[in-house]
Structure 1
Amino acid sequence: MIKEGKISRRSFFNNSLAGIGSLPLASVFDKSHHFTRPLKVVCVGGHPDDPETGCGGTLAKFANAGHQVTIIYLTNGDAGIKGKKPVETAQIRTAEAINACKILNAKPVFAGQVDGSSVVDNVWYAKIQKLLEDENPDIVFTHWPVDSHKDHMAASILTQKACIQMGQKFPLYFFEVYTGSQTQNFHPTDYVDITETQQQKRKAVFCHASQGFVTDAFYQRFHGIMEDFRGISISVKGAEAFIKLTTAKSAVI
């Protein structure tokens, strides 16, 4: 437990990365905080385009600040292009994800599940945990589990289980996608101002041309409007919203 007067917020960040989970997510970007090393940030998404649309602005903000960002895609998006075979579709969407990661300055990792047929079992619990252990993250993002798409739900459940198995040693944040249509009952605990990375995020999303993300009008209809709405909540031009997983371990500071 940290007692007031014993240690400053700044020195806490200087001396221990363990303090990340005890403060609001936005405070990580406070320039008065200096970390002993770059943070390792990992995002687990259901398909190519989910991490980009859900929290691409935040991931870009981390990378631009010198932190290491990895995006783990649960599936290759095999079923995401009508009229094309799964193998060809996966190749196209994997390439799009790689290009998007270049724009976000993130490392792409593909877990290898099949789009639309995601599996949640002991084998995949172990696989996702191994991927996260290999990255040794300080902060993790994934889908909110209450979602209309089962691949989103699977990505969330697998990531949550890995977090628990790894001793809940890093904060876990849930992001939203198509709230009201896919993400349900999302009541944010944290916001990140992405005004400075909105265009970078948009360029990354536009890499997913196979999904129709090729015009500003289309983007604004599905993603820009959410950035605007979340931005209003914290009085900035654009923002992304998150729900922090509160555990017994992280609830006591």
Structure 2
Amino acid sequence: MNILAIGAHFDDIELGCGGTLAKHVANGDTVYAYVATRSGFTNHQNIEIRSDAKATLEGENAMKVLGVKLIKGSFKTLQVEFTDDLNLEILKIVEEKKIDTVYSHWMGDIHHDHQAVARASLHSCRHVPRQLLYRSNWYHSNLDFKGNFYVDISNFWKLKEKAIQAHESEMERTGSKWIEFFKNEAKNAGQRTGVDKAEIFEVVKWLD
């Protein structure tokens, strides 16, 4: 299979579906990741928190851990919109790589960039037979994440964790909070399905 994971920033994909992608790679599938932004950002005081160059290097290292082929976009962080520029960039990848399974942001995510990328993914991947949505942060939304598709990542959690840790600047900023949160999520999802750890997705469509 040809798999495409779509994320707004370097780290979103690793957090949301890193274990599943590593499992696809182990199963012999060809896996691509498209990251829409250069992913550097400044805070509300206009102090640079992470440079584009640092974010890119960390993202490249993370994808190497997972064994995923990285496709880099050039949109600016916090300035991603649901436009033809983004739609056509995703559609081009889908057609050129003959993608048959897509993982992308959940539509209910409250992050502006995540929402825009989610909408573009649904639009541009409408002819792809299988599409699943993932969560990549811990913030509340006024919508419910309808997690109804589970992937056993018990044997791939360590790779997911290593990929997250590749984002050294974010680890320095947040400590181990990300890893603790997503490890608990994976354990809880695993407990519901009778495995050690799992990733959970909301199904848009699944054609066998």
TM-score (norm. length: structure 2): 0.90
1:206-225 to 2 correspondences below 5 Å: 206-212=165-171, 217-225=176-184
| Map of 1:239 onto structure 2 | 198
Cα displacement string for residues 171-202 of structure 1 (whole angstroms, at most 9, x for unaligned residues): 11101122443695112121001000000110
After the TM superposition, which segments of 4 or more aligned residues of structure 1 sit over 6 Å from their partners?
A: 213-216
Could you tell me whether the CA contact under 8 Å between 2:161 and 2:179 is conserved in 1? no
The one of 30, 48, 58 equivalent to 1:84 is 48
Structure whose residues are more often strand by fraction: 2
1:42-121 to 2 correspondences below 5 Å: 42-79=4-41, 83-84=47-48, 89-121=51-83
Could you tell me whether the CA contact under 8 Å between 1:140 and 1:172 is conserved in 2? yes
TM-score (norm. length: structure 1): 0.75
Structure whose residues are more often helix by fraction: 1
For the aligned residue pairs, the C-alpha RMSD in angstroms reads 2.3
Could you tell me whether the CA contact under 8 Å between 1:60 and 1:104 is conserved in 2? yes
| Map of 2:108 onto structure 1 | 146
Aligned residues: 206
1:226 is aligned to 2:185: yes
Quote the Cα distance in structure 2 between the aligned partners of 1:213 and 1:154. 28
Q: Give the AA of the match of 1:78.
A: G
Could you tell me whether the CA contact under 8 Å between 2:102 and 2:128 is conserved in 1? no
Q: 1:59–1:183: structure 2 CA closer, same or farther, 3 Å change rule?
A: farther
1:218 to partner: Cα distance: 2.7
Q: Give the AA of the match of 1:83.
A: I
Q: 1:155–1:226: structure 2 CA closer, same or farther, 3 Å change rule?
A: same
Quote the Cα distance in structure 1 between the aligned partners of 2:198 and 2:62. 20
Larger radius of gyration: 1
The one of 157, 180, 205 equivalent to 1:198 is 157
Quote the Cα distance in structure 2 between the aligned partners of 1:91 and 1:160. 29
Quote the Cα distance in structure 2 between the aligned partners of 1:235 and 1:185. 23
| Greater RCO structure (CA 8 Å; 6+ sep) | 2
Identity %: 26
| Map of 2:129 onto structure 1 | 170
| Map of 2:99 onto structure 1 | 137
Consecutive unaligned residues of structure 2, counting only runs of 5 or more, are none
Q: 1:183–1:242: structure 2 CA closer, same or farther, 3 Å change rule?
A: farther
| Map of 2:86 onto structure 1 | 124
1:221 to partner: Cα distance: 2.9
Secondary structure at the aligned position of 1:232 is classed as helix
Q: 1:183–1:163: structure 2 CA closer, same or farther, 3 Å change rule?
A: farther
1:214 to partner: Cα distance: 8.8
Q: 1:232–1:180: structure 2 CA closer, same or farther, 3 Å change rule?
A: farther
Quote the Cα distance in structure 1 between the aligned partners of 2:182 and 2:113. 20
Quote the Cα distance in structure 2 between the aligned partners of 1:169 and 1:180. 29
Could you tell me whether the CA contact under 8 Å between 2:164 and 2:179 is conserved in 1? no
Q: Give the AA of the match of 2:116.
A: A
Secondary structure at the aligned position of 1:63 is classed as helix
